[in-house]
Structure 1
Amino acid sequence: MIKAKKKFGQNFLKDKHYLEKISEAMPNTDNLVVEIGPGLGDLTEKLLEKRRVLAYEIDKDLCEILKEKFPNLNLKCGDVLEYWQKGSLAEEDYDLIANLPYYVATNIILRALRDPKCKNILVLIQKEVADKFSAKLGEKNYSSLAILASQVADVKKLFDIPPGAFVPAPKVTSSVIEFRKFKDSYDEEFAKFLKIAFANPRKTLKKNLSAVYKNFDPKEFGLADTIRPHQVDGSTFFRLFSALKERSEYGKRKKRDNS
């Protein structure tokens, strides 16, 4: 039996009950399935029963096991993030379904939300990260991740999975979360803006944004000076972003005209 490798954040889901639950939660489409990190192939086997699968595996040892176990599997060996740098993960519309390593889960989800070819995302990730993506306005986990995701997809946390369902058992609880995309991608400039707005969640929105946007006045947008980032909804954030971006671009144009 191959041992899990810490450097790849491997925790193999072996519990048949939860493997079946993930399989049953698959989006009802005819899209290709892209699986990231198939590991020993326990979930892959379930996916292949229902759909065409393209799998990405970074571990060369696991690649050899998967090739032997699934001779007809469309398998790419290597870092999926490097593949993504060349474009989409597939030449056709696809649904991403995976048990993601905790250390790259956020990065992979954000990349999938930006990929126009990715239409749905169903992933198993650390509960803490799932709570951040699915948080609602005013909740303590509400952050830029929840706002970005809500701009692109309907987000729903489906169920938790205890550590004992994995080999080896992680130290934290995991969750399965789905993103049903209604938009191809999100604005990367808006993502950077949100990062500034949530730079210090305990500080006021005015304090955070004033670090970059000089003389920012929340009252101009109908907001109190004391309002904090987690108290502002996504549409208001986008309104702020659009107005401040236009103001910044106008200032740059004016400066060029006067030079």
Structure 2
Amino acid sequence: MQTIKAKKAFGQNFLVDTTITTQIIQAMPKDDNLIVEIGPGLGDLTKYLVQQGPVIAFEVDRELCTHLTTAFKQPLSTKQLTLRCGDVLEAWSQEGTQKSLVDAPYNLVANLPYYIATTIILRALSDPQCRSLLVMVQKEVADKFSAQAGDKEFSALAVLTQTVGEAKSVLLVPPSAFNPPPKIDSAVLKITKHSSLEDEAFSHFLRIAFAQPRKTLAKNLSQHYPKESVLSILEALHLSQTVRPHETTTQQFHQLYFQLKGALYGREQQQQRKQPAQT
């Protein structure tokens, strides 16, 4: 049998520690949702997932698709496993806009390549059919998504996650659990959703708020919004002018966003009233 080697181009590190695999299965939600696996690799996790329920697996590596087609003939024939060969990000997109990955409620399980992990997680958070995520990622990425206000890792990613659900790292995974072993530690991140990201304008607002994390929130926001409005709203929310982005809670970010949006709308209306009537 030909040995399949991990490809650097796809950021592949195959999970080979069965103890970790078992713990991932145990951390899965206990429901009847469809299971979506991104990057099944050699199928070491897939063979356990198909025992939990119907699985749709997305694999971009054609060589691995061929291997999986042979290794999973039986579950493929019974439709317990559906294999889709191609880029999952393309499957998510249609004419430049995001669509649901599948047409049914699903739980996402994945050993994500580190270079694309954040992008995939954000896509899943925006997908209304995705109910939960259980993903292997770089520990640093897991920390950013699961951080709490006041943590130095707290960022726009954590605010977006807390907007739609709850996140926590459920398992730390050493490099020795993979072949080849990566140079960094990994973690299994679990996100349970209660809604989906819908407001792109709020995401844009957060990018502004966290643009320079070491600077004050007032400084960052004042680069794009009227300074007097920013300072007035901070005072109304009992936030110091020296507060930094990572010290601000998700609820406070939502309050800031809606009040700033309201202030800007009011300013526009006022300017329109001042304009002379057209004759």
SS at the partner of 1:103? coil
Quick one: which of 223, 234, 255 aligns to 2:239?
223
Q: SS of the residue aligned with 2:264?
A: helix
- 1:162 alignment partner, one of 166, 170, 174: 174
User: 1:152·1:186 contact (CA, 8 Å) conserved in 2?
Assistant: no
Structure 1, 152-161 or 220-229: larger mean CA deviation: 220-229
Q: Supply the distance in 1 between the matched residues of 2:9 and 2:266 (Cα, whole angstroms).
A: 47
Counterpart for residue 19 of structure 1: 21
Identity of aligned residues (%): 49
CA change 1:75–1:256 in 2 (3 A) is farther
Cα offset, 1:221, TM superposition? 3.0
* Cα deviations by residue, 1:146-186 (Å, 9 ceiling, x for unpaired): 11101111111101000011001000000011111111334
- In the alignment, does 2:157 pair up with 1:149? no
- What is the TM-score with the length of structure 2 in the denominator? 0.90
Is the 2:148–2:158 contact (alpha carbons within 8 Å) kept by the matching residues of 1?
A: yes
* Structure-to-structure mapping, 1:79-118, within 5 angstroms: 79-86=87-94, 87-118=99-130
- Does residue 203 (structure 1) correspond to residue 211 (structure 2)? The answer is no
The secondary structure found in structure 2 opposite 1:180 is: strand
Q: Of 52, 69, 72, which aligns to 2:54?
A: 52
Report Cα offsets for 1:46-82 as digits up to 9, x if no partner: 1011110001111111111111111203011111111
- 1:34·1:94 contact (CA, 8 Å) conserved in 2? yes
Residue 241 (structure 2) pairs with residue 233 (structure 1):
no
Q: Give aligned pairs, total.
A: 259
Q: Tell me the TM-score normalised to structure 1 length.
A: 0.96
1:129, 1:136 → 2: CA distance? Answer: 14
Cα separation, 2, equivalents of 1:4 and 1:249: 53
Larger Cα-atom Rg = 2
Amino acid at match of 1:243: Q
Could you list the runs of 5+ residues in structure 1 that have no partner in the other structure?
none
- Amino acid of the structure 1 residue aligned with 2:251: S
Aligned position for 2:85? 77
1:6 equivalenced with 2:18 (yes/no): no
Separation (CA, whole Å) in 2 of partners of 1:54 and 1:255:
54
CA displacement, residues 106-155 of structure 1 (integer Å, 9 cap, x when unaligned): 11111101100000111110000001111111111111111110111111
Query: Please, which runs of 5 or more residues in structure 2 have no aligned partner?
Result: none
**Counterpart residue number, 2:186:** 174
Moved more, 211-220 or 39-48: 211-220
Which residue identity lines up with residue 237 of structure 1 in the other structure? F
Change (3 A) 1:251 1:170: same
Q: Are 2:58 and 2:83, in contact at CA under 8 Å, matched by a contact in 1?
A: yes
What is the CA–CA distance in structure 1 between the aligned matches of 2:271 and 2:13, rounded to whole Å?
55
SS at match of 1:98: strand
Q: Is the 8 A contact 2:110 2:136 kept in 1?
A: yes
Q: Within 5 Å, give how 1:121-136 maps onto structure 2.
A: 121-136=133-148
Q: Root-mean-square deviation (CA), in Å? A: 1.3
Amino acid at match of 1:29: D
CA–CA distance in 2 between the matches of 1:132 and 1:66?
33
* 1:113/1:186 contact within 8 Å kept: no
